[in-house]
Amino acid sequence: MRARIALWAHEGHLNTVIARELRASVQTVCVWRKRIAQHGAQGLREGERSGRPPRITQETRLQLIALACEAHEPEGWVTPTLDEIVAHYATELQRKLRGLLGHEQIVTQAYGWHLLIKRLDDEGPTVVARLTELARNHYSAAFRSHTGRWEPLQGTGSLDEMAEVVVTLLQPYLQPDNY
């Protein structure tokens, strides 16, 4: 953000414009513009801070950062991508829903952080509900109303818990024969 403040200031933008565009306070913009005006490019660097001195040296800190950035995977191991992980959860959700409903006319699809729940009809799949990942294996649920808006369902929980909530509350809408 400091560099952006410097660039926008160099282009002649007002502090209020810079603050609004960067979603920062005007006071923050003023502080950094003043430091940059006094110290030039060195003003962009982090200054000394009050409080307890660091327990590790800057050199050790940089070594730890480098170590953390190295690959630590055993040979032959491939870390799955986010898309692969979400697709796995979509498959697990589909398996759980089909088991609870007792039919195969339900499919799920990973869509960003959402797991879409679709009912298969003669016309094709219809999105009925979605789960949204809030944290690792912690989801909220919503259903698609007749107006197309997403309406939240009560509660949050694991994938299995939210599958049961969706089936309990939306079972008529998840049956292919009802529409």
| pLDDT single digits (tens) 55-71 | 888 888 888 888 877 76
Q: Measured between alpha carbons, how far is 76 from 99 in angstroms, rounded to an integer?
A: 35
- Identify the pLDDT of residue 179: 52
Per-10-residue mean pLDDT, the chain, length 179: 86 90 91 86 75 84 82 72 85 93 92 90 90 90 92 93 93 78
- Identify the pLDDT of residue 80: 80
- Identify the pLDDT of residue 178: 59
- Identify the pLDDT of residue 78: 77
- Identify the pLDDT of residue 143: 94
Exposed/middle/buried for residue 32 (C-beta within 10 Å: 0-12, 13-18, 19+): buried
Tens digit of each residue's pLDDT (9 = 90 or more) over 139-149 = 999 999 989 89
Only one residue has tokens 């292919």, namely: 176
Q: Measured between alpha carbons, how far is 24 from 4 in angstroms, rounded to an integer?
A: 11
- Identify the pLDDT of residue 6: 86
- CA count, 13 A, side-chain hemisphere, 104: 0
Residues 6+ apart with CB under 8 A from 70: none
- Identify the pLDDT of residue 95: 94
On whether the pTM is more than 0.95, the answer is no
User: What DSSP letter does each residue of 93-154 carry, written as one string?
Assistant: HHHHHHHHHTSS-EEEEEETTEEEEEEEETTEEEEEEEEEEEETTEEEEEEE-TTS-EEEEE
Give the torsion through C-alpha atoms of 23, 24, 26, 32, to 10 deg: -130
- Identify the pLDDT of residue 84: 85
What is the token pair recorded at 17? 């414009």
Measured over the CA atoms of residue 16, residue 29, residue 20 and residue 2, the dihedral's sign is: positive
The three-class DSSP label of residue 55 is coil
